[in-house]
Amino acid sequence: MCSNVVVGLPSPPNLNGTLSSPTPTNTSNAKDGDNLVMNHTGVGGGYKWRLVIAYDGTRYAGWQYQSSPPTIQCFVEKVLMQATKLERKDLSLVGASRTDKGVHAWGQVAHFVTPFNYDSIDSIHAALNGLLPSDIRVREISPAVPEFHARFSAKSKIYHYKVYNDTFMDPFQRDYAYHSAHKLNPAVMREAAKYFIGKHDFSAFANASQKERVRDPVKNIFRFDVIEMGALLQLEVEGSGFLYRQVRNMVSLLLQIGREALPPYVVPMILATRDRRELAKYAMFAPPHGLSLATVKYNEEHLRLPSGCSTTSFGRHYTIGSCKLPFY
């Protein structure tokens, strides 16, 4: 059990005996690695938890909180409030990526805080997935060190964009891949994608967004792969961060190049202009349903488990006991 319980914290709700009651502890003696977080007044008083979340974004207005139309964050906060009996402001839920309307995720990461500790997190994990709609699932839940921040601690993010390249659309792929009936040339798309790799000013590939309070247009792209899987093309891009709709705008240009309507060297020419209007002359819109957030990467020190805390929950497997009826 974590040793950083703070004097005067409220008693936790009873969830099948999985929560530990707060016992008076002098927080000045807290050791490195204890799961202590600071509240808004600077006083120690909570535990931080990391979530890995998968969702089908088809019917949601993105990740970022808003009550109507509903968002992923809205639903996750709602079930956390039910499971923990805490208010939204006390949970302080933060996501790593503010995915747009219709965009999916396999590896969205978020964190929240509670004023109490869980001796075992399997029960709350099961409770969250039992309360969430079937198109949102918590894949993992684990204790987090105080320094961990789902958004600001992220080292890189990996997005996938799927393109189904055939004369007709596979009906089983229609919600998760963009259909291109134009025959694409993956080789020239790979050649063009290499121009994105490295540190560049991506102003020409960013849409204006009121949500971006501090907008640094310089991003570092580590890799941009074009992978062929039969009729399906998967474009995988990893970067230090991305501007609003940057990935989809890069994909839209690669699609035009793949149709051989444009040469690969148009990429650095558009990058150099730093003008979104220049991209609009060449590329069309890439719809959101082909895009998914695959992974968010962190440094090891941010992912280590606090000493003495419960281990990561990946969910429970259920088994059927041996049949005790006699066989004839």
Whole-angstrom distance, CA of residue 225 vs CA of residue 130: 37
Sequence-separated (6 or more) residues with CB below 8 Å from residue 221: 196, 197, 198, 199, 200, 237, 238, 239, 240
Q: Report the number of secondary-structure helices (H) and strands (E) in the chain.
A: 8, 12
Question: Quick count: other Cβ atoms within 10 Å of Cβ 207?
Answer: 14
Given the residues 32, 100, 166, 175, the one annotated as active site: 100
Query: What's the half-sphere exposure (Cβ side, CA atoms, 13 Å) at 61?
Result: 9
Whole-angstrom distance, CA of residue 264 vs CA of residue 195: 8
32 annotated active-site: no
Give the residue from 140, 71, 61 showing the smallest Cα distance to 311.
Answer: 140
Sequence-separated (6 or more) residues with CB below 8 Å from residue 159: 236, 237, 238, 242, 247, 291, 292, 293, 294
Residue 83 DSSP SS3: helix
- Residues noted as catalytic: 100
